[in-house]
Amino acid sequence: MKAAVTAHGKYTISDIDPRLYGSFIEHLGRAVYTGIYEPEHATADENGMRKDVIDLVRELNVPIVRYPGGNFVSAYNWEDGIGPKESRPTRLDLAWHTSESNQVGIHEFADWCVSANTEMMLAVNLGSRGLDEARNFLEYVNHPGGSEWSDKRIANGRAKPWNVKLWCLGNEMDGPWQIGHKTADEYGRLAHETAKAMRAFDNGLELVVCGSSNAHMPTYPEWEATVLDHTYNEVDYISLHMYFENRAKNTANYLARSLELDRYIGTVAGVIDYVKAKKRSAKDVYISFDEWNVWYHSKERDKATLAGANGWPHAPALLEDDYNFEDVLQVGCILNTFINRADVVKIACLAQLVNVIAPIMTTPGGAAWRQTIFYPYYFASVYGRGTALRLMVDSPTYKVDELGEVPYLDVSAVHDADAGALTFFIVNRHGTEALDLDVSLLEFGTLKVIDDQVIAHPDLTITNTAEAPFNVAPVRATDAVVADGRLSAKIAPLSYRVIRLQA
Ligand code: AHR
């Protein structure tokens, strides 16, 4: 099987916002407690944060982390997480049927972000609460001092404001499961007024309004049109979420679902354009794809806890998907889609970061290790910074109901002009045949291969575990060559590949 690609140094999609490689920590399951925070752990720092986890997060070079939810935020009182730890209340978390000890709050998370070399993306509660709490939280986080809430922050040990720029106006407000779920008009009005108040404090904030929880919601895409009609001039991003599953155990169909993601992005980009035209606005709104991942391996296991059969446990194991090799390919295709849509998707958050549907897993009191999906996320985050190239791709295809022709070759390319580096991210969706890849390289000067990594495994279901953490890991490939302005490589069936070129 052959596939041909043309890459031209001047044919570009967009500069990539580094926040395309963001992630997410929610007060859910063991993401916070025994995930990032475990004061009794041998590697814990002076704040009780696990250094082994911090090291892995730093390795991923995560630019932003969304916090504190997720569904959790829609009944969260941010004030519960400030002040002396011993006087913080334990609350029932209605979203996940658990108890929340509030031992980690905004101060602890902010300090962790510094240690993990990342920035905060904060969400306000527009479910059980509203404008007033949002503006108080903003004042607490960003005002230098001399007001009630900023002075409380100072009294709680943080003199300087954190100056968080990026704020989510609630979470998945279209979802009937959400505490404080609203209609598009109800939410649109509330989001508009909240955004107005937040902008009255600081017009330089970047605000994210809730779009659809997925493209199968009955209100999609009318939700986006209505919500943006209310908020267009006050917000910068509309958020989308999508999770992927392969319960049918059909690899070909599963790996085709990134085409559905691409359509979802295209449709919402169209709605944004429609509202922009309707409002005669000169301003742009972009997409913040602030929850995405594979999520299905743990669903059966979680049913009892989520139904309340285990009472109100604190930090139980929830949403602990054990990712397999097949998921590496899926995550590779998803990331390629974001890179190829970098003109409209500016922010994306892998949901989530530690233990909960996460690339990083921990054992309480034990090791932290990389799940299989750690690797495609790592490669994209570390090497996917620069300009997304508009590739011309000629690949053989296969048919999938509802999606049509699906190319076997899934590819994106990022040009880092400063470093003179060109990186290709490649997935071969074919189950048995290798792809002979031929790439014409135009207007890049002379390039040579500086790195070539492959992830492949004969068993699609193999996972990484605490005992065997490197079952699935990248290895150096050797067959990519550049000659006479062409890159050629043999892409093994069902493999993920990263090829890096430089002068
Ligand atoms: O990431 C897990 C959950 O998925 C989030 O809390 C929610 O926003 C989404 O439904």
280-316 pLDDT, tens digit per residue, is 999 999 999 999 999 999 999 999 999 999 999 999 9
- 2-9+389-502 and 17-383 share one fold: no
Is 23 strand, coil or helix?
strand
Q: Please give the number of the atom of ligand 1 that sits closest to the Cα of 70.
A: 6
Is the C-beta atom of 69 inside 6 A of ligand 1?
yes
| pLDDT at residue 4 in the model | 98
Is the C-beta atom of 316 inside 6 A of ligand 1?
no
Is the C-beta atom of 290 inside 6 A of ligand 1?
no
Token pair belonging to 361: 């897993």
Element (H, E) at 260: helix 251-278
**114-167 pLDDT per residue, tens:** 999 999 999 999 999 999 999 999 999 999 999 999 999 999 999 999 999 999
pTM reported for the whole predicted model: 0.98
| pLDDT at residue 1 in the model | 97
The CA radius of gyration of the chain, in Å to the nearest whole number, is 23
Q: Which fold has domain 2-9+389-502?
A: Immunoglobulin-like (2.60.40)
| Of 171, 210, 293, 354, best ligand 1 pocket probe by most atoms within 8 Å of the beta carbon | 171
Instruction: Tell me what the pLDDT averaged over the chain comes to.
Output: 98
Number of other CB atoms surrounding residue 246 within 10 Å: 19
The residues with which 387 forms a beta bridge, in sequence order, are 15, 415
443 is catalytic: no
* pLDDT classification of 20: cutoffs 50, 70, 90: very high
What number does CATH give the domain 17-383? Answer: 3.20.20.80
Residue carrying the six token digits 């045949």: 433
Taking CA atoms only, the protein residue closest to ligand 1 atom 4 is 70
Could you tell me where the beta strands, DSSP code E, fall in 345-474?
A: 345-351, 360-362, 368-370, 387-389, 392-394, 397-400, 404-407, 409-416, 421-428, 435-442, 448-455
Domain boundaries, the chain: 2-9+389-502, 17-383
Dist. CA 389–CA 12, nearest whole Å: 4
CB 103 within 8 A of CB 85: yes
For 212-219, what is the mean pLDDT? 98
* Cα 476 to averaged position of ligand 1 atoms, centre (Å): 36
Element (H, E) at 305: helix 299-306
Is the C-beta atom of 362 inside 6 A of ligand 1?
no
**339-360 pLDDT per residue, tens:** 999 999 999 999 999 999 999 9
